[in-house]
Amino acid sequence: MSANLNGRLRVGVGCFALLLPLGAGAIEPGYEAFEIYTASSPSSSRDATWKPGDGVTLEVSGLSWIGPDRLGVTVRKGEVWFIDGVLGEDRSKIGYHRFASGLHEPLGLLQDGKDFLVVQRTEMTRLQDGDGDGVADGYLTAARGWHVSGNYHGYAYGPERDGKGNLWVSLNLDMGERANNGVGWRGWALTVDEKGQLQPMAAGLRSPCGFGVNLDGEMFATDQQGTWVAATPIHHLRKGVFYTNQESIETLKDPESAVKVTGALPKDCPYPEAVRAMPQMAPAAVWLPYNKMGRSGTDVQVIDQQGKFGPFDGQLLVGEFTNSAVNRVFLEKVKGEYQGACFPFLSGFPAAVVRLAFAPDGSLFVGMTNRGWSSLGNRSYGLVRVRQRGEVAFAVKEMRAKPDGFELVFTEPVDATSAGEVKSYSMESFTYLYSGAYGSEEIEKAGCEIQSAVVAADGMSVRLKMKGLRELFVHELHLDGVRAKSGEGLLYPVGYYTLNRLP
């Protein structure tokens, strides 16, 4: 590896593992994954002698596709790198150069014209390259105004634009002895106007690590299980709503707060009761049940690849930190509010998944960093490219709510006999305890009686009729008996539908 004074470098194969297969069976059928950049691992002979100190410790904290074959990457320890040539098959043509440095834990990256925006702990910063040499020479404050305490968990995330051009950022709660969440918008999602002024939009968040817009341009965010957060939720962000966490409730008294709450706050009760008792509390669009779907949701990325990443266009991908995976979320609107189902999707990544970005060719780039915490996999950070190759495994593509059950849409025709048998399915619903405790067990479990399963004439969908559906409960569906027309079983015969409203 060599470098010159402006931070540019060209990487040789001896320093980095480039486009190396992760290994047979590591990623689900129909997809293949290649490591663009990885920490050393004894399982890889090509990089067995390489150590993070020899090169860039690429703890990916932000991804942004910024050219035909150029990926922008923020590094958690304070740098922005541009990576060129990652869409080719020739490893020797992949190059890296450092665009910016000296930042304080940037956790996002967004191109804005000729400039780039990053959110540091203390502010949103505009990076400019005035002399065109490929290295930032202007670090300008684009927005600030949130409380910064120095607390270990005082992260700031973003920025991300919604379909109307609004620029969003979000703020983690402080935690522990040095926590100070009563001022400065900790636990909020905010927008930033053209003058750099903050507009507090939605409150009640704990650790809103990732953003993403759907095809309608509406913004969604993950949160992570903890105090007042029973499991991983996907929230639809909009003005004037409260989600779950009460630790920054004092900020709602600020004159600029868009959320106004009066009366006693609910606590120590089932989650549906809390939602009904507090009109400002917006139910999660989707819950990702703890352990069953992961433990710590991260980034959100819509699939909009015209079939180049499988038959799932319009759905959301959600990064999963602890399980080193990517989950899939199907959303629909019922009575004007989002709800939907989540499904396991891709697993086997070598480190914690933190950021996602699609390339122009329809491949998915997955940025990883463990940040000293535990996750599945044998690496501490890295960057992986995932491409759809061959036939995607048999799966439930969509799960739609009906007044008396669900309609299931599959990725290929089902076997009419197995899919038409009631005994091929089972379902129960559950909710969580809404309290200040760390997470929640599943409570108030009850079975749903499946009365009939009617297969469509083309075999692509099944209409389930059942009794026992409950609003504001998660409905866990198992399809162990269903087979495709080809005889193949479902790779993941399970889905979890958050039924906020019956159609």
**CA–CA dist 220, 232 (Å, integer):** 13
Length of the chain counted residue by residue: 503
What tokens appear for 22 in the block?
A: 């992760």
SS3 (DSSP) at 497: strand
Contact by Cβ (8 Å): 312, 328? yes
Q: Taking a C-beta distance cutoff of 8 angstroms, is the pair 408, 459 a contact?
A: no
Q: 326: which strand partners?
A: 319, 346
Question: What is the per-residue DSSP string for 417-446?
Answer: HHHT-GGG-EEEEEEEEESSSBS--EEEEE
Q: Order of strands, edge to edge, in the sheet holding 353-358?
A: 20-21, 31-38, 381-388, 364-369, 353-358
User: Which region, left, alpha or beta, applies to residue 404 given φ > 0 means left and ψ of -120 to 50 means alpha?
Assistant: alpha
pTM for the whole thing?
0.93
Compute the chain's Rg from CA coordinates: 23
pLDDT at site 55 = 63
DSSP E strands, 305-404: 316-320, 325-334, 337-346, 353-358, 364-369, 381-388, 396-402
Task: Kindly list the domain boundaries of the chain, sorted by start residue.
Answer: 2-388, 396-499
- Considering the segment(s) 2-388 as one domain, its CATH architecture is 6 Propeller (2.120)
d(CA 127, CA 141): 9
Chain position carrying tokens 């060129």:
84
- Contact between 481 and 424 (Cβ < 8 Å): yes
Is the domain defined by 396-499 classed in CATH 2.60.40.1220? yes
Phi first, then psi, for residue 272 (nearest 5°) are -60, -35
Give pLDDT, residue 263. Answer: 82
Q: Calculate the CA 458 to chain-centre distance.
A: 34
**291: DSSP letter:** T
Contact 21, 4 (CB under 8 A): no
The predicted pLDDT at position 65 comes to 95
Report which residue type is found at 442: E
Order the strands of the 110-112 sheet from edge to edge: 110-112, 115-119, 124-128, 138-143
Q: In degrees, to the nearest 5, what angle opens at C-alpha 179 toward C-alphas 177 and 182? A: 140
**Amino acid (one-letter) located at 234:** I
Q: What is the pLDDT of residue 397?
A: 98
Terminal alpha carbon distance of the chain: 60
What are 167's two structure tokens? 């620029």
What is the rounded distance in angstroms from the CA atom of residue 154 to the CA atom of residue 161?
22
The answer to whether 418 and 479 are in contact (CB under 8 A) is: no
Per-residue pLDDT of the chain (503 residues; tens, 9 = 90+): 233 333 433 333 223 333 334 433 368 999 999 888 766 533 333 443 334 445 678 899 999 999 999 999 999 999 999 999 999 877 667 888 899 999 999 999 999 999 999 999 999 999 999 999 999 999 999 999 999 988 989 999 999 999 999 999 999 999 987 899 999 999 999 999 999 999 999 999 999 999 999 999 999 999 999 999 999 999 999 999 999 999 999 999 999 999 998 888 999 999 999 999 999 999 999 999 999 999 999 999 999 999 999 999 999 999 999 999 999 999 999 999 999 999 999 999 999 999 999 999 999 999 999 887 888 888 889 999 999 998 999 999 999 999 999 999 999 999 999 999 999 999 999 999 999 999 999 999 999 999 999 999 999 999 999 999 999 999 999 999 999 999 999 999 999 999 999 99
Residues 315/329, Cβ–Cβ less than 8 Å: yes
Burial class (CB in 10 A: 0-12, 13-18, 19+), 423: exposed
Bridge partners (DSSP) of residue 499 are 473
Contact by Cβ (8 Å): 465, 485:
no
* Nearest one of 23, 44, 7 to 15, comparing CA atoms: 44
For residues 110, 119, 374, 358, the Cα torsion angle rounded to the nearest 10 degrees is: -10
Q: Return the beta strands (E) in 180-288 as ranges.
A: 189-192, 198-203, 211-213, 219-222, 232-236, 241-242, 269-270, 286-288
Distance CA 189, CA 198 (A): 10
Cis peptide before 159 (omega within 30 of 0): yes
Are 41 and 47 spatial neighbours (Cβ–Cβ below 8 Å)?
A: yes
Query: Is residue 166 a contact partner of residue 110, using CB atoms and an 8 Å limit?
Result: no
DSSP string, 30-42: TEEEEEEEE---T
Query: What residue has token string 């270990």?
Result: 152
Beta bridge partners of 431: 443
